[in-house]
Structure formats: structure tokens, C-alpha cells
Amino acid sequence: MVDSYTYTFSLKHLPKVPINVSSIRPEDIAGKNINEIRNMQILYGSRKIVIEEIFDVDGYSKAPRDADRITIIFRGHGTRKLWYVGYMMSRGNIVVDGDVGPLTGYKMSGGSIVVKGNTGKWLGAEMSGGNIYVYGNGEDFIGGRTFFSNGSGMSGGRIIVYGSVGSYIGYGMRNGYIEIHGDAGDFIGMENRGGTIVVKGSSGIYPGIEMVNGTIIVCRGVELIAPGFIASNTNSIDIYNPCTNDNSTNSAVLIGDILINGLGKIIIFYSEKS
């Protein structure tokens, strides 16, 4: 019995327009044979095509019914044109062997997405569960809410980016965990209601502005703190430091955004020499 079934979708040529791959998820191909998978419909720009017009599909003759046993791999020149990878995904695994476009992991509730390159905007937007790992850089609104829905930011799950990212990370976040190994832009954690954001590099201006709850940790300094944050009297206690993986007293703890009666927490670590 095979434990894991892998299906590889290789682009036949460089796409000229975005490809909506929201319907290529483990749960979509579960139970289908390879010919049924190749003849599923997707959007190429605004035009409906069958998968085999743009992808070579390789894998087992028939997919298992259990989506958790399925791994989908996207590869080839032009993976940056893939939009909505893992949209509303709940089970299984997706790997992108290269860069990827916007809205990867949008509204996902389970499963795992691995991107071996850079990502577009709204990575993990409004997700409620699952795990996303990015081995490159990200853009704006990671784990945030979109402007074209009435949803909140992410409410669960985990996003790890091993590079640097843009602004508005965790915008409107309710719960979950975001970890950035590089630097972040402006307004991270804006309008947060919960969850944790860790930036192992530095961040831009006004992290946590209009924040009500949740925690933001920055390891290498903040460009400018919003006026609605005040120093906490917990500065002197030992706090676990994800920047060095030990306890540290070298931290500034800020509470806010008090301009909207917020009780969120920003922790900024610094060295003894700084």
C-alpha cells in the first residue's frame, strides 16, 4: 500500500496571463484517475481550459480517496503566474517549486503549503488553519484580510517565511502565528485582535497601530513606534526571546494601542551593547 501519492503539474510553456489553480487541490483530485485529473477545468486568464492544455500531469493512475495522502507539486518556468494556490484547502500537501503569485493559501483551513521561492500578496490571507512555509521573500498582507471580502485576517494556522516581507503583515489578524526570519515593512499587526507575529529582523513604522490584542515581537529594532503605545512595567522580567532561543531581560515591552483602549503587546529585543 502506498502511503503518499504525488502528482506533478509541470507548466508546458511560460504563461502569458494568470492561471487560477484554486480547483487543483488534494481534495479536488482525490478519487480521480489520471485522465480525469488532466481534463479538469481551470481558468487561464478569463478563459476556461482543461489542465492538460497548460500542464503536463504525472502521477499514479488513480488518486486515493484520502486527500491527506496526496501531495501536489507545481513546477516549471512561470509558476509566478499561478494564483489562488491552495484556495480554501483543507487537507493534503501542495509544493510550489519556484515563485508563486497572489492569494496562495487564501482561506485555507488545513493541510500544508511549501513555496520554494518568493510569494505574491495576501499569502495565507484569512486562513483558519494549516501550515505555510516560504523559502524566499513575501510581499504585503501576509495573514491579513483582503479588501474584497468582509472577512478578518487569519484566525488560525501557522505561516513561516524564511526571507523578508512587505507591509501590513497580519492585518486584522484574530489568531494564529506568523514568523518572519528577515525584515518586515510598515504597519505589521495593524488592527490585530489576537495571535502572534515574530519578526527576527527589523520592522518599519507603526507596528500594531489600532491593535486591540495579540503580541508582536521584533528582534532587531523598529523604525518608529505609534503614539498609542506606552511602556509596560514588565520590562524587568525574563521573557522568552525567539531571536536567541533563550530568556532575556534586554527587552522593551509596550502596551497599546491605548488610543482605542487596546491591550496588545509589542516586545522589542536589543543587545546589551545597543
Q: Any idea where the domains of the chain sit in the sequence?
A: 1-80
CB atoms within 10 A of CB 50: 13
Q: Output the pLDDT for position 274.
A: 45
Fill in the amino acid letter for 41.
Answer: Q
Quick one: DSSP state of residue 51?
A: G
Select from 190, 230, 182, 183 the least CA-distant residue to 206. 190
Percent of the chain with pLDDT over 90: 87
Weakest-pLDDT range from 12-16, 21-25, 32-36, 247-251: 247-251
- In this prediction, residues 8-26 reach a mean pLDDT of 98
Across 236-259, average pLDDT? 78
Q: What's the CA gap between 55 and 201, in Å, rounded?
A: 38
> What's the confidence (pLDDT) of residue 242?
86
> What pLDDT is attached to residue 250?
75
Asked if residue 203 lies in contact with residue 250, where contact means CB atoms within 8 angstroms, the answer is no
Residue 212: which residues within 8 A CB-CB, separation 6 or more?
A: 191, 192, 193, 257, 260, 261, 262, 263, 264
> Cβ distance 153 to 169 under 8 Å?
no
Distance of alpha carbon 226 from alpha carbon 204, whole angstroms:
11
The per-residue pLDDT for 249 is 57
Per-residue pLDDT tens over the stretch 93-134: 999 999 999 999 999 999 999 999 999 999 999 999 999 999
Residue 264, H or E segment: strand 264-269
- Going from the C-alpha of 48 to that of each of 12, 20, 36, 41, 171, the distances in angstroms are 17, 10, 16, 6, 33
This prediction has a pTM of 0.95
| Residue with the larger pLDDT of the pair 112 and 274 | 112
Residues 143-198: tens digit of each pLDDT: 999 988 888 999 999 999 999 999 999 999 999 999 999 999 999 999 999 999 99
